[in-house]
Amino acid sequence: MSDVQPATASRSPYLELRDLKVSFATEDGLVRAADGVSFSLERGKTLAIVGESGSGKSVTSQAIMGLHPKRSAQITGEVLVDGTDIVSASEETVRSMRGRNMAMIFQDPLSSLHPFYTVGAQLIEAVQAHGEVSKSEARQRAIAMLDRVGIPNAARRVEEYPHQFSGGMRQRVMIAMALINNPDLVIADEPTTALDVTVQAQILDVLRDLQGEFQMAILLITHDLGVVAETADDVVVMYGGRVVERGPVNEIFTRPRMPYTWGLMSSVPNLTDPRGTRLTPIPGQPPSLINLPTGCVFRPRCQFSAHVEDAWCDTKRPDLEPVGPRHDARCFLSVSQMAALAPRRADGEEVA
């Protein structure tokens, strides 16, 4: 990372990805779902990953959890969670870290909870997976946690089954389950996509509250730029399995330095944009992860490649280069070209 500010330089990040590559051997060929992903995240901070469908957000987050089956996924690079490399650690080490060091909230709470066990049973087993805790004590913790995430009558509802909860309450259960062992890192993969707008807001409030209380790092995957603007400290933009831009949320929103990010941002005029604003689709198809285009992966959809000298976009892969304070982008356009070419709003300002 470039230009790490002195105030934060002394603290080592809780999560650090270094050149993570995840590929799957399929009948059609090798799918490079994550191709050299690097970023880092500190305790108490929120990092949002944005990018269109198939850009490798979920694959990356599951690699952090060590959830890719060893048989089908080929993984290289490093995923450091509190200094331990998940990629090379033993299965037992990773298992013992799941839920305690890093936990995950999934998108669809109904299918992500076991239909045959009570919510309490599913919380209790999570507690008991990480230490000798009596069942009654684990139950007390389950009830306290359900209460903490805002489930009324927690002591009674702990005996109920997932299908007896509403969608929003179910997602609160998922959050309780993820947080019950006080993890330092919580990954939320589109935690509110399956919910309606008012419930989305409540769920995000719960997460924010809990972050204030427990100081965990949150890795938030979302399609909702309004949510990103409101909750994230840093943003990682992914495209075709790679990071194409990353930086503090203000930088990314006010000075995006990559045509793909411009495409994402052009639908969000400013930070106070209401929640629920969706990414407008960018013309063209996402790249095939089996046969990546030569040169810049975004080039087939990029309107600005003509501005780059010697047709580099067609032949060379741009590196992730510093373009501002803690701000990197993967583009051959120079910073001055960026400033000149960035799409403008009606008032003549740069997208901001």
Partner 1 sequence: MLGYVVKRFGSMLVMLAGLSVMVFLLFSVLPADPARLTCGKTCTPDVVEANRQRLGLDKPLVEQYAVWAKGIVAGRTFNEGQGAAEFTCPAPCLGYSFSQQENVTDLITEAVPVTIWLAAGAFVLWMTFGLTTGVIAALNRGRWPDVVLQGISLVAYSLPSFFVGLMLLILLIVQMSLLPYPDYYPPSEDLKKFLVTMVLPWVTVAFTSAAFYTRLTRTQMVETMGEDYIRTARAKGLAERTVTVKHALRAGLTPIVTAAGLDLGILLGGAIITEQIFNLPGMGRLAVESVVDSDLPVITGITLVAATFIIVANFVVDMLYMVIDPRVRLA
Residue 57 is a binding residue for ligand ATP (CB under 6 A): yes
**Closest to Mg ion by CB, 127 or 187:** 187
112 binds, among Mg ion, ligand ATP, partner 1, none (CB under 5 to 8 A by kind): partner 1
58 binds Mg ion (CB under 5 A): yes
Residues 6+ apart with CB under 8 A from 60: 17, 20, 22, 34, 37, 49, 238
The residues, any chain, with a CB within 8 Å of residue 178's CB and separated by 6 or more, are 99, 103, 104, 105, 186
Distance CA 41, CA 79 (A): 12
Q: Is 54 in the site for ligand ATP (CB under 6 A)?
A: yes
* CB atoms near residue 85 (< 10 Å): 15
* Segment near Mg ion (CB under 5 A); pick from 9-17, 51-59, 113-121, 142-150: 51-59
Amino acid at 148: R
């309490």: which residue's tokens? 120
Q: How far is the CB of 192 from partner 1 (least distance, A)?
A: 16
Using the rule CB under 8 A, which residue among 43, 74, 89, 100 binds partner 1? 100
Write the binding mask 62 to 101 for ligand ATP: x where contact by CB under 6 A, - elsewhere. ----------x-----------------------------
DSSP string, 316-344: -PPP-EEEETTEEE--SS-HHHHHHHS-B
Query: Beta 234-239 vs 242-248: how paired, if at all?
Result: antiparallel
What is the smallest separation between the CB atom of 91 and partner 1, expressed in angstroms?
Answer: 8
The option from ligand ATP, Mg ion, partner 1, none interacting with 292 (CB < 5 to 8 A, set by class) reads none
Residues contributing to the site for ligand ATP (CB under 6 A): 24, 26, 31, 33, 51, 53-59, 72, 289
